[in-house]
Amino acid sequence: MAMKTAPALTPERQAFYDGLAPDNMAPLWERFSSLIAPEPRSIVRPCAWSYAAARPKIMRAGELITAKEAERRVLILENPGFKGQSRITNTLYAGWQLILPGEVAPNHRHSQSALRFVVEGEGAYTAVDGERTLMREGDFVITPAWTWHDHGNDSQKPMVWLDGLDIPIVGFFEASFAEGHADDRQALTRPEGDSLARYGSGLMPEGYKGGKHGRTSPVLNYPYARTREALARMSQAGPPDSCHGHRLNYVNPETGAWAMPTIGPSMRLLPKGFATELYRSTDAQVFSAVEGHGTVTIGDTVLSWQKRDVFVVPGWIKFSIFADAESVLFSFSDRPVQEALGLWREDRGNH
């Protein structure tokens, strides 16, 4: 049933409304339909970014400014629905970050949570909370809120990853804090791979109390090799989900909940020639292609994608992904926040 329309505007009513403005008041009945809509009306626009087209610009940025000068040398992926706002969706930020051989992106911390999804290269590292991890293509790496972190590249080739942060969410709550460190590199207190060994194998150390980083997973790096093997085994065990393909969500091993409190990351495998059924959910989703190529149909918009490309699907718009070849897609959204607030909803095309 449609919501009631605004009452008719009469000269007397208009005069009354005009008299409310100086007192910083307004009539709800004139604004009700815009405040409480019958269905979501997303400002996010379907959009795709070609990595092949962007790569020369990413490398050019490396010639013009150092990682130390820039603090973080990133080309922001800005949704056309949010020009000038540094957003890829209404709640999330994303960008491609470049670290050249021999560089260090200085140690700092901030109240925003961040993920790193490796797009190109191998051998650069990120250090978080005293642990360093080497990064390889397809790895999903977490930087929990308010943890010291720096990045460096001791390899011989450039390294590029996709950054995903909850900057707009933290900004909405006006809760942003950031701090630099006197040293570009942090002191290492644990061996590489320590967090994965301790918490990422279905085991927990004796006496572990949990909550190391609040509700964020204690695992620093979820290696792609492990994820890819899990997807392959999953595909051998049964048919793909009609809307998601073979999909795995990254979780916090302490709780089984999402790996991050504000960002929900996933990886899915789509068989060659597979087309997902029409699907929509209230969370706008950001996708990064790891393997394969295909198309995504979002409402009336059709976008092509291939390995390393990024595309975004607005919330509550029906979409379908088609894989021309066997494909693997990483994605993330604000679903954990929506679920925590009781807002998340999905439609599997049944109505």
pLDDT tens for each residue of the chain, 351 residues long = 456 677 899 999 999 999 999 999 999 999 888 888 889 999 999 999 999 999 999 999 999 999 999 999 999 999 999 999 999 999 999 999 999 999 999 999 999 999 999 999 999 999 999 999 999 999 999 999 999 999 999 999 999 999 999 999 999 999 999 999 988 898 998 899 889 988 888 878 887 877 778 899 999 999 999 999 999 999 999 999 999 999 999 999 999 999 999 999 999 999 999 999 999 999 999 999 999 999 999 999 999 999 999 999 999 999 999 999 999 999 999 999 999 999 999 999 764
Going 192 to 197 to 201 to 204, the CA torsion angle's sign is negative
pLDDT at 1: 44
pLDDT at 284: 98
User: End-to-end distance of the chain based on CA atoms, in angstroms?
Assistant: 15
Q: Domain boundaries in the chain?
A: 47-347
What span, in angstroms and rounded, lies between the C-alpha atoms of 336 and 262? 5
pLDDT at 101: 96
Q: Which one-letter amino acid corresponds to residue 305?
A: W
For 175-244, give the DSSP string.
---EEE-SSSSPPP-B-TTHHHHHHSSS---TT--S-TBTTB-S-SEE-HHHHHHHHHHHHHHSPPBTTT
Joined tokens for residue 161 = 């990853």
pLDDT at 205: 83
Joined tokens for residue 40 = 């979501």
Tell me 9's DSSP state: P
H or E stretch covering 167: helix 167-172
Joined tokens for residue 73 = 């040398």
**Which among 134, 116, 136 has a CA at the least distance from the CA of 125?**
134
Joined tokens for residue 108 = 């700092």
Helix (H, G, I), strand (E, B) or coil at 54: helix
Q: Which one-letter amino acid corresponds to residue 131?
A: E
**Which among 120, 186, 179 has a CA at the least distance from the CA of 152?**
186
Strand 264-270 and strand 327-333: pairing?
antiparallel
- Angle subtended at Cα 257 by Cα 251 and Cα 259, rounded to the nearest 5 degrees: 40
> How many helices and strands (H and E) does the chain possess?
8, 22
**Which among 332, 310, 316, 308 has a CA at the least distance from the CA of 113?**
332
Which CATH number describes the domain made up of 47-347?
2.60.120.10
343 HSE (CA, 13 A, CB side): 13
Is residue 145 within 8 Å of residue 160, measured between CB atoms?
no
